[in-house]
Amino acid sequence: MSSLWKPFSVSEGPCDSISLKRRCSQQSHTATLTPNPSLCAVSGASLSGCSPEIYKWGSSKRTLSAATVGGRKITHPGKAILAGGIAGGIEICITFPTEYVKTQLQLDERANPPRYRGIGDCVRLTVQDHGLRGLYRGLSSLLYGSIPKSAVRFGTFELLSNPMRDANGRLDNTRSLLCGLGAGVAEAVLVVCPMETVKVKFIHDQCSLQPRYRGFFHGVREIVKAQGIRGTYQGLTATVLKQGSNQAIRFYVMNLLRNWYKGDDPRREMHPVVTAAFGATAGAASVFGNTPLDVVKTRMQGLQAHRYRSTVDCAFQILRNEGPQAFYKGTVPRLGRVCLDVAIVFVIYEEVVKMLNDVWKTE
């Protein structure tokens, strides 16, 4: 290839190309890179900018930094955990009322006379009976869980995806789907299932004539006292299926849109508005993809969970008693919350990672 296409030309050193095979070992031979003045002049770079670098033949380690060669920098899992936790805490404080309404509508089973006629009626009755604070009932359980949930999600995703990225830091779409699935399963088992169980029981308890739980810690203590630790892991199968599919869809769509936007330039920066739009799209895709699993999970974690023998039995009873449309109860409020949720989380996460990169130097 012509040297005009290379910023450096390689001088063979003391051995010519023939004798190299016979008398020079790869371990002892070094090739000195010298600047190519013609290309430096064309590119506008100074000769000092094209300073020589020395490479060891047969060595896989180069002296150039990977960050200067690749595109998107690989995020250290420690940064991902910290940034994910911060993003999760901020997001849940903003979006919880929509989560509350969604859960109430899903618990409003058709087997009994329905209490709510729709989203607006649910909000009106809740405020009427409990004030504005009623829309935040159960926030503490979700807040305590949202921070570690997002931390585990992003930390696991980066841990799994970093070895799968190419030299430019680009992750292909199939691998992003698998990494997202792994992240979803991890957060389901470690955080989401116990957190969601407590949250659903709190919200369901508020609907009863004589609420039993006076607060987060009192509620957790009562649940464990009555049902043991297992009482906080009701609906584990449904939760793993829901979270695994959730994050698989979200990270797949987000990665697909990111790769499309950056095209052949992996170093192209994404404006927060673009990140928010892509995040909202990923969130919407996950809602339509797994709302039936979310409905089953919610029923399995409610105060009436003893009515169901298993996740499959729960799904069968919903289908038999309420029809297939029941699997999409709460879709509209969930759609609004999840789109906002995913958009906020991805924007905050990306921005916090950028700040951490300035103060926390990692290889």
Average pLDDT for 199-214: 78
Contact 301, 235 (CB under 8 A): yes
Q: Report the distance separating Cα 246 and Cα 259, nearest Å.
A: 20
User: What is d(CA 159, CA 51) in angstroms, rounded to the nearest whole number?
Assistant: 35
- Per the CB < 8 A criterion, the answer to whether 205 and 212 are in contact is yes
Q: For 114-138, what is the mean pLDDT?
A: 87
Residue 72's pLDDT is: 52
Whether the Cβ atoms of residue 196 and residue 204 lie closer than 8 Å to each other? no
Query: What's the token pair of residue 68?
Result: 């200067």
Q: What is the three-class DSSP state of 34?
A: strand
User: What is the rounded CA–CA span in Å between residue 15 and residue 124?
Assistant: 85
In this prediction, residue 316 carries a pLDDT of 92
Query: pLDDT at position 80, please?
Result: 94
Q: Does 72 or 260 have the greater pLDDT score? A: 260
Average pLDDT of 124-146? 85
Q: Tens digit of pLDDT for each residue in 41-78?
A: 444 444 444 444 433 333 333 333 333 334 456 889 99
* pLDDT tens-digit readout, 292-338: 888 888 788 777 778 888 888 999 999 998 888 888 887 887 787 78
Q: How many percent of the chain have pLDDT more than 70?
A: 78
**What is the structure's pLDDT at 73?**
67
Residue with tokens 């290309």: 39
Provide the pLDDT for residue 42: 42
Instruction: Read off the pLDDT band of 226 (50, 70, 90).
Output: confident
> What integer pLDDT is reported at residue 155 of this predicted model?
96
Q: What is the pLDDT of residue 18?
A: 41
Q: What pLDDT was estimated at residue 50?
A: 46
pTM above 0.85, yes or no: no
Residue in the structure block whose two tokens are 């991902």: 80
- Which residue, among 278, 319, 274, 273, has the nearest Cα to 295 in the 3D structure? 319
Q: Average pLDDT of 130-141? A: 84
Lowest pLDDT segment from 28-37, 204-213, 293-302: 28-37
* Mean pLDDT value of segment 204-219: 77
DSSP state of 90: H
128-164 exposure pattern, b = at least 16 Cβ within 10 A, e = fewer = eeeeeebbbbbbbbbbbbbbbbbbbbbbbbbbbbbee
More confident residue, 38 or 150: 150
| Confidence class for position 219, pLDDT limits 50, 70, 90 | confident
**pLDDT surpassing 90 at residue 189:** yes
